[in-house]
Structure 1
Amino acid sequence: MSHQRSSGNLLADRRYAYAEACLAEGDAAGAAEMAEQALEISSDWAPAWVLLGRARAFAFTRGGAEADRAAALEAFGRALALDPDDVLGSRLHLAGLGAAEAATAIGPAYIWALFEGYAPRFERHLVDELGYRGPQMMVEALDALPDAPPHFPRALDLGCGTGLMGRALAGRVETLAGCDLSPAMLAQARRTGLYARLCEADLVAFLAAEPADSADLVTAADVFIYLGDLAPAFAGIARALAPGGRAVLTVQSPEEGEGIVLGADGRYAHGDAHLHAAAEAAGLAVVALQQAAIRRQNRVDVQGRILILRKAHKKA
């Protein structure tokens, strides 16, 4: 029932390592064979089932054989049964094969696992190696608005990570609170000394717990790539924002379509139609939507948009 990297059996672990190496070299058949050997030794080891599923799915994408797709679905299903919280992201793989709902394929446990181990090298990799400057671009977009105030009394940073957005907002906010699913990320953010309050929580739950009309600014930098339907998040933002308050966030652009697209990169992209519909349903006005390279992946700019929303002032 373990989702740990080690099966507890040296032979199974070695077969797993060989399978990973084969898959990295594009040898789907070799990867599947080694993963199956690992499972013969340790049949309840969920990572080996995921690896077998990845090998079979890769073979399916290259050859189109329905038997490979069926084998991949079975393997991911076995992994999910052993890992019901889906720390290993089996639903994401199933969605890629058209066998799971794309809008809910990425769950909190998967995101937690993704970032919990990434925290110590997160900033070095993202900023120094990939040249990430999403928070700075978001602040610049906010400053470009003709009526944007230079200072916000109360701000909320959704998916705050290690505190990069907090640094970009330094001197611009009086009180800043943040949330993240990863305790390791929150520990890094706490060290910045920029946050008055940090909560280990899903952003929708965090927003629901905030007092209504209590925030002047809400930020979400490179966070909504892990959420399918943005309507619940936008509704939470609208509730937390004070009248006249603003939200600035980044979203990934789909290569085609206007709705929610789960890409091959395992990230969600959102079309303009979905953004406008979610904002309208929440009672938020779209005041800016500008193109931007929101991050780099495999040395290529990932195209997205910076979206700024505003909550209307209450009528007298």
Structure 2
Amino acid sequence: MAKKKKIDEKALAAAYNEALALEKAGAFEKAAAAYQKVLALDPEDHGGAAVRVASMGLGETPPKAPDAYVETLFDQHAEAFESILVDQLEYCVPLMVRERIDALKLGPFKKLLDLGCGTGLTGGALRDITGEMVGLDLSENMVEIAHEKDLYETLYVAEAADFLEDNEDGPFDIVTATDVLPYVGFLEELFFGVADNMEKGGLFFFSSETLPAEILGDRDFMVGPHQRFAHAEGYVRKVLESAGFEVIEMSDITVRLEDGAPIAGHLVVAKLK
């Protein structure tokens, strides 16, 4: 078995800081070239160089944010995650999910799968109407905090699509993915994986971010200015339908604030036919 190449952390930090400085100065072509040096030093892309290049409108749009980047990002922010997301960025998608469940008179549920469970915000919002809860997240630090809350019967450190391919815990009658799609561009693998792990008639709740049509153009998805994926409404509907879901609701929401400005998105309720 080949030995994993050791990263030169000092050289990597210098290369990343150079690329970031060029990006912030608006020298995007030079920044993109500098990020290629970062990727050469760190092929797993812990710093999200590929996503940053795509957010500048250069290079290819990756199918998703690199696992190493998402894991690093959320591991670093785990302790302050809820304070930043809920108090500063006014993120309340889990409560929106609960509100729609109550308004549509859905539930109670037998078994929930919470994809990208983070510190357990969605788990907390749905605990009293769910028999058994399974959560997973790429960030081990996030999962540890969720574990301390004693909300979930089972917790995994895993990537969503990989878990769905090998999972033996199902089937589930409800699956949630709040704040997962901003780190995934290509949705087919995720949505088909959810369908494969769900009972007929099961419900899929998730949030997505979007951008105006004049920015998205004819693209299904793109990396937006804040290094997160934005999806076209038509693309989300198309993939849901092809995976066997019926869209019950697709509501316009403010997902969060970014630099004080609202980030537009959708809250989707879908049912497996």
The question of a shared fold, defined as TM-score above 0.5 by the shorter chain, is answered with yes
User: Is 1:122 the equivalent of 2:122?
Assistant: no
Q: Quote the residue 1:267 is aligned against.
A: 228
How do 1:191-270 and structure 2 match up within 5 A?
191-211=148-168, 214-256=171-213, 257=216, 259-270=220-231
CA distance in 2, matches of 1:204, 1:172: 26
Q: For structure 1, list consecutive stretches of 5 or more residues without a partner in the other structure.
A: 8-44, 62-67
Q: Quote the residue 2:3 is aligned against.
A: none
* Match for residue 140 of structure 1 among 81, 99, 107: 99
* C-alpha displacement of 1:298: 1.4
How do 1:268-307 and structure 2 match up within 5 A?
268-307=229-268
Q: For structure 2, list consecutive stretches of 5 or more residues without a partner in the other structure.
A: 1-5
CA distance in 2, matches of 1:255, 1:113: 30
Report the CA distance shift for 1:96/1:132 in structure 2 as closer, same or farther (over 3 A). closer
Q: Quote the residue 1:168 is aligned against.
A: 125
CA distance in 1, matches of 2:34, 2:88: 35
CA distance in 2, matches of 1:288, 1:301: 21
Instruction: Find runs of 4+ consecutive structure 1 residues off by over 6 angstroms.
Output: none
* Match for residue 60 of structure 2 among 101, 116, 119: 101
Deviations 1:4-36 (A, max 9, x none): 4xx3xxxxxxxxxxxxxxxxxxxxxxxxxxxxx
CA distance in 2, matches of 1:104, 1:49: 24
Q: What is the TM-score normalised by the length of structure 2?
A: 0.91
| 3-state secondary structure, aligned to 1:195 | coil
Q: Quote the residue 2:272 is aligned against.
A: 311
Of Structure 1 and Structure 2, the greater helix share is in: 1
Larger Rg: 1
AA aligned to 1:225 is P
Segment of structure 1 superposing worse, 119-128 or 80-89: 119-128
| 3-state secondary structure, aligned to 1:171 | helix
Report the CA distance shift for 1:3/1:122 in structure 2 as closer, same or farther (over 3 A). farther
CA distance in 2, matches of 1:149, 1:141: 8
CA RMSD of aligned residues (A): 1.8
| 3-state secondary structure, aligned to 2:79 | helix
| 3-state secondary structure, aligned to 1:136 | helix
CA distance in 1, matches of 2:56, 2:260: 26
Q: What is the TM-score normalised by the length of structure 1?
A: 0.79
Report the CA distance shift for 1:225/1:69 in structure 2 as closer, same or farther (over 3 A). closer
